[in-house]
Structure 1
Amino acid sequence: MHPSQNLKPEWVDIIRKAAPAAEQEGKLQPVQLALIYEQGWFKFLVPQVYSGLQLALPQMVRLEESLAWANGSLGWVVTLCSGAGWFGGFLDAALATEIMTDPRLCLAGSGASTGTATISGDGYIINGTWKYASGAHHATHITANCIIKNGDETVVNDDGEPLVLPFVFDGKDVRVFPAWKYVGMMATGSDAYEVKDLYVDKNRCFKIDPEYTVVNEPLYRYPFLQLAEATLAANLSGLAVHFLDLCGPAFDERMKNPRLTEPQKEYIKQLLAEQTTLLNKTRAAFYETVDNSWNSFELDGENGLQEVSLMSRKLAKVSRESVDKLYTYCGLSAANPDTEINQVWRDLHTAGLHSLLTFER
């Protein structure tokens, strides 16, 4: 199924028309955000009890691929910020009700453990700086991992390692500052943020572990690693499909070049057909793996999870390689940063550097 089949044409039109301005300003535009709020896309994984969509993994991954196909930056922000909504399954119920019922809910954050949380009475004093928080500029709340301290001493876990726990802060208590200076994903607003001497109640801390699930639903027992791998791979897939879509018009233009021989023209056409077939076969295998894992998870537990990890990496690899094989034949317009095809190429090669999908195994 082509990703376009999951989105109304008018949605795609809104997203893409605003894309150049979003890239120029380094963040999603109001018209794009209005659509996200209207459709509840930031609430893909928020529990239904807190007014979320609580989508099954297969449905969510397909929608995220479609949004990445519409625009890389928007798809990435929705994926990461809606992914943080999954934490709603582990948050204190009263706090989650307060936070997640907001119709403009957006949870940004970082997985890096570059902050400290010092025990203070019934709460913690937070200090730290984190970078690369996609969607930080319009986040209502921000999450962060902190090393737990008791005075000057670092608290250790059962393995003797520093204890690291996630926290959720109100957006107003966090200072966001410029840090994203990369060639792609320019509209994600993936800037840095810091917190200084912020006191938070203990209910702002949570544990991501099935043992500590507050909302007793399969979605919040499914491992976060495979959930993250699958959603990120779907973003690369969506970007790759978009690039291959744009190769058609680009190649048609190249065919007008009188210096191209007939065999060369035929080679370019055949290459696009081959890479389209390869990408679609890999996408189909990926979705079959995700579907099987989700459908059997409650019965078979760990069975199928390793396959999700492997297929996510394979899909990411095929997406990158298919685009690179075709890029050479797209002409100079593909190297012009003002063109759509170049934006897609830059977005894919920036998102494709994510550490979860770097290696095939």
Structure 2
Amino acid sequence: MAKILIVDDEADLEILIKQKFRKQIRENIYEFVFAQNGEEALERIKEHADLDIVLSDINMPVMDGLTLLTHLPEANPMLKAVVVSAYGDMQNIRVAMNRGAFDFVTKPVDFDDLELTMEKTLVYVRQIQETLKAIKENNILKMYVDENVLNFMSHKEFESSLLKNEILDATVMFIDVCGFTGISEKFPANTVVNLLNGLFDKIVAEIIAQNGHVDKFLGDAVMAVFRGDYHLDRAIDAALSIRKQLENTENIVNGEVKFTPEVSIGINPGEMLSGNIGSASLRRLDYTVIGDAVNTAQRLQSAAKAGQILITKSTYELAKESFACSYVGEFILKNKEIPVVTYEVND
């Protein structure tokens, strides 16, 4: 069950929420807690340590929603906030995002869209919760860990985690959403953020389905790592599923501008260093992988066209019995003296 805090000074909102989500409340899918301003919300957070997400208005008495956002990391760093407000101008969206809002929904509220946003936010929160659990158990989970999550760990746990470095054999995959930078200038900011987050949800779901780990989000790209048995096969299966998922995604239209979601993907297996990379003094690290195998995967993705899944010749030799591939050509990749022979995974 997900526990959601609603922060809004509209007197009838509590009744409306309970009416719109009565089935989910009855089936114990959602539990709602209510507050009328930011100050009251902080009290509710103290009372309910198991809250998952916050849905907050901006314009409220005592403490407004934007101010509340600045207090959430200290009150509960695991919480993610979605701003729900009639003030949907670019300035408010940017301020909200800069203060840590996960998403932004405008009023009057489309409750179907609101529920989709809630579900998306809950998926992300669950991933953070699983990441924290894995860190505390000293498991290696290749996912971005920010400062607030690390603060949940004791100092001793944190210091010892710095030593958990190793050489491993794995497969790295980079997935880029093609042409996304261009449309960010042609679509409303709220549309762009919701669109990218929705595409990331589809991508992440296929990575997790193949027991891969999201290492980090890089703008409009995703880096994933696959370890264990058949890590290369599982990475390629995930890539094929991601490409298919986006092919089945409807085009996004804004006036005469149309965006067709496509991805370019680079995959490369090999030996790499796994460890905490970052600044210990800031208590901010990426638990990530580095090495030539990782760099090659990223450069293959950069060379790939929309819809392409590129691999090297050596990877092709490992994968050709399980996957249909075709020769693409030679590319000069950064920091590679010799041209790299590449193949495309077809199916």
TM-score for the superposition, normalised by structure 1: 0.24
Of Structure 1 and Structure 2, which has the larger fraction of its residues in strand?
2
